[in-house]
């Protein structure tokens, strides 16, 4: 395989560890803090996790290592969507494990959680690990979305561990995977398997965060990558002065990615799904809001602009979510076959018209035909509409075009409107990790091994104080049960780590809210440029605006 000059150079990069982990393995000791409680539903969570509930939070510090010497065989999996830095979590884990005892071994289970069930693995060595240092992607062992959640699966995992003498498993994943890591940890303890389970917080979506986890890894690099592209588009728009660009960005339900990109690039418009929900904004109200900016700018001779649309926004529009619900009902079970058998779109349209309520039909009728058809084409394995596949960037630009046509007819809008569409998601998930993600991920992995070495089970590797230089980061661990509450999932009460949506009273949104009016009418674009890996620290090591605003002293 050919290796690019950047990849070669990145192999040589030494990720920065928190100061307390820098003195060598022999000089890392544990400082135990207070016992913990779950964030809510304490009695229920305690009853569900009798062996792992209420444990102490811990931090590492400089001091004599008092952990018990024993050979460790650790298994690691990557779970869910790719996020830059995943390789470095594994590299950090490997380095700490080998530095502690060269006889220790690291098994990488392939293809995500299913690799553990299928006992499909490789054993890492130096050469293998060295080929992935500071690189993007999850291709070191692959990832997958199989969920590890049933007692039967846990029993198989316990058998696989017994077979290889595995003493601990590290699960690198998002909120769901770490919830399952907590349940697996409880199983391992309840069944006296002696296997420890440690989680690491991953997802570009930024929605795995709480008072303990300041951010998930990958968010920094992914948003830097999207912001570079958005900034380039802004500059193009400002040069050609003839297009409005509607840019959808990944992030699932939460708008953290969209908001961070907006803070970095100062576009004319950025929708925030959480605000759409709080204000119960209709499709028409959102289209009017965007059209106001297009009109003001157009009437001032600026027939161009940039609008950022978060991936999940349509789910938050009340009338749209009712429509989706009705479509799911309309096509439930065998009714989908009857629908699919209809020969023409006109026949299908009549079927839809007969099946939807008057209100939902009114919403459906204003959608562009391509979106109407998408709602009936793209289904998930349960037969439901896949909301994330809806081209909301095209939906909103079409609705805005309708609004502008009406305003033109009324004589208020005098500009020209030409729209282009983009969707940024996969472009950012496997980028070379920024220095921040390279450092953060390596530290998470290194730290995960220290948690194993000191015998902790059911903990999330935690590195905090992240807006400060890496030397001042604080490394430790947090019992996963501390982050849990009970939520209704698929008709059942389940213990889960709460997904973090954008807080409308949080500093990042407040900053955006205070500036967006100016950004909407004037041209205030900022151009972040490409991620810089080498150069001055104030350029190369900065993290997200979100973190900086959240942690502003």
Active site residues: 205
Q: Which helix (H) or strand (E) holds 121?
A: strand 121-123
Residue 28: CB atoms within 10 Å: 26
Give residue number: closest CB to ligand FBP: 81
Give the residue with the Cβ less far from ligand FBP, 220 or 311: 311
What is the DSSP code (8-state) at residue 32? E
| Closest to 437 (Cα-Cα) out of 263, 227, 225 | 225
How far apart, in whole angstroms, are the C-alpha atoms of residue 311 and residue 381?
Answer: 20
The minimum distance between CB 94 and ligand FBP, in angstroms, equals 22
C-beta separation of 75 from 170 below 8 A: yes
In sequence order, the β-bridge partners of residue 493 are 488
Residue 262 and residue 312 in contact, taking contact as beta carbons nearer than 8 Å: no
Taking the C-alpha atoms of residue 239 and residue 216, their distance in angstroms, rounded to an integer, is 36
Query: How near is the Cβ of 306 to ligand FBP at its closest, in Å?
Result: 20
Q: How far is the CB of 225 from ligand FBP (least distance, A)?
A: 12
Place of tokens 């135990």: 32
Check: CB of residue 419 under 8 Å from CB of residue 246.
yes
- The CA distance from 101 to 483, in Å, is 32
CB atoms within 10 A of CB 499: 18
Using the Cα atoms of residue 397, residue 399, residue 402 and residue 408 in order, give the sign of their dihedral: negative
Are 223 and 262 in contact by the 8 Å Cβ rule? The answer is: no
Residues near ligand FBP, by CB under 6 A: 80-81, 83, 174, 203-205, 250-252, 311, 388, 429
Cβ closest to ligand FBP, residue 273 vs residue 303: 273
Q: Nearest to residue 307, comparing CAs of 247, 347, 362?
A: 247
Q: What single string gives the DSSP state of each residue in 230-258?
A: HHHHHHHHHHH---EEEEEE--TT--HHH
Q: CB of 84: closest distance to ligand FBP in angstroms?
A: 11
- Residue among 178 and 388 whose Cβ is closer to ligand FBP: 388
CA 247 to chain centre: 18
Rank residues 234 and 315 by Cβ distance to ligand FBP and give the closer one: 315
Closest contact distance (angstroms) between CB of 252 and ligand FBP is 5
Minimum distance between the CB of residue 223 and ligand FBP, rounded to whole angstroms? 11
**Cβ atoms of residues 539 and 224 within 8 Å:** no
Distance CA 423, CA 392 (A): 10
Residues 197/67, Cβ–Cβ less than 8 Å: no
Question: Residue 33 and residue 38: Cα distance in Å, rounded?
Answer: 15
Q: How far is the CB of 255 from ligand FBP (least distance, A)?
A: 11
State which residue, 160 or 390, has the beta carbon closest to ligand FBP. 390
- Angle subtended by helix axes 435-453 and 86-100, to nearest 10: 40
**CB-based contact 315:324 (threshold 8 Å):** yes
Minimum distance, C-beta of residue 351 to ligand FBP, in the bound complex (Å): 30
Our CB check for ligand FBP shows the closer of 49 and 316 to be 316
Q: Rank residues 271 and 450 by Cβ distance to ligand FBP and give the closer one.
A: 271
Judged by beta carbon, residue 104 or residue 203, the one nearer ligand FBP is 203
* Token duo for residue 131: 């080929």
- For residue 173, the minimal CB distance to ligand FBP (Å) is 7
If the CB atoms of residues 97 and 170 are measured against ligand FBP, the closer one turns out to be 170
Give the chain's length.
553
For 279, phi then psi, to 5°, come to -95, 5
Render the burial of 476-496: b for 16+ CB within 10 Å, e for the rest: bbbbbbbbbbebeeeeeeebb
d(CA 213, CA 455): 21
Measured from the CB atom, the residue of 129 and 171 that comes closer to ligand FBP is 171
In sequence order, the 6+-apart residues with CB closer than 8 A to the CB of 4 are none
As measured in angstroms, the least distance from the Cβ of 247 to ligand FBP is 15
Of residues 249, 83, 95, 253, the one with CA closest to residue 173: 83
């Amino acid at each position: 395989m050919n290796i690019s000059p950047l990849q070669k150079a990145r192999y040589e990069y030494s990720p920065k560890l928190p100061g307390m982990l820098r003195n060598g393995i022999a000089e890392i000791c544990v400082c135990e803090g207070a016992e913990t409680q779950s964030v809510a539903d304490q009695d229920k969570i305690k009853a569900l996790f009798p062996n792992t509930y209420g444990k102490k939070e811990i931090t590492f510090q400089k001091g004599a290592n008092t952990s018990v010497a024993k050979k460790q065989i650790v298994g690691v999996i990557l779970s869910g969507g790719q996020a830059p830095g995943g390789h470095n979590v594994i590299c950090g884990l490997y380095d700490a494990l080998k530095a502690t005892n060269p006889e220790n071994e690291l098994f990488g289970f392939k293809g995500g959680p299913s690799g553990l069930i299928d006992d499909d693995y490789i054993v890492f060595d130096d050469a293998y690990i060295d080929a992935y240092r500071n690189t993007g992607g999850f291709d070191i062992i692959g990832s997958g979305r199989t969920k590890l959640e049933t007692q039967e699966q846990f029993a198989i995992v316990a058998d696989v561990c017994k077979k290889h003498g595995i003493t601990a498993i590290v699960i690198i994943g998002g909120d769901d995977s770490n919830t399952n890591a907590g349940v697996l940890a409880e199983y391992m303890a309840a069944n006296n398997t002696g296997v420890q389970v440690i989680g690491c917080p991953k997802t570009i979506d930024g929605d795995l965060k709480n008072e303990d986890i300041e951010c998930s890894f990958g968010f920094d690099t992914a948003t830097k990558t999207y912001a570079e592209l958005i900034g380039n588009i802004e500059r193009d728009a400002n040069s050609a002065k003839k297009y409005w660009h509607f840019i959808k960005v990944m992030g699932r339900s939460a708008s953290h990615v969209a908001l961070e990109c907006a803070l970095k690039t100062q576009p004319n418009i950025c929708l925030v799904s959480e605000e759409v929900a709080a204000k119960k904004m209709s499709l028409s109200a959102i289209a009017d809001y965007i059209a106001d900016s297009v009109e003001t700018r157009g009437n001032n001779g600026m027939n161009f602009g940039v609008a950022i649309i978060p991936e999940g926004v349509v789910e938050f529009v009340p009338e749209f979510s009712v429509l989706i619900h009705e479509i799911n009902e309309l096509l439930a079970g065998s009714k989908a076959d009857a629908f699919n058998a209809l020969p023409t779109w006109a026949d299908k349209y009549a079927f839809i018209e007969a099946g939807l309520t008057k209100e939902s039909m009114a919403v459906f009728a204003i959608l562009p035909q391509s979106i109407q058809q998408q709602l009936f084409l793209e289904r998930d394995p349960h037969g439901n509409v896949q909301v994330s596949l809806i081209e909301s960037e095209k939906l909103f630009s079409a609705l805005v075009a309708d609004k502008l046509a009406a305003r033109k007819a009324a004589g208020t809008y005098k500009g020209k409107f030409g729209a282009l569409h983009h969707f940024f998601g996969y472009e950012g998930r496997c980028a070379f990790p920024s220095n921040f993600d390279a450092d953060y991920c390596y530290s998470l992995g290194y730290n995960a091994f220290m948690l194993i070495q000191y015998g902790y089970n059911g903990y999330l590797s935690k590195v905090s104080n992240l807006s400060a230089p890496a030397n001042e980061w604080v490394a430790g661990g947090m019992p996963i049960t501390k982050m849990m509450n009970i939520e209704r999932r698929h008709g059942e009460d389940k213990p889960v780590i709460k997904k973090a949506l954008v807080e409308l009273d949080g500093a990042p949104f407040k900053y955006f809210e205070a500036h967006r009016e100016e950004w909407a009418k004037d041209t205030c674009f900022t151009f972040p440029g490409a991620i810089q890996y080498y150069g001055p620290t104030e350029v190369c090591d900065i993290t997200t605006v979100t973190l900086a605003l959240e942690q502003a002293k």
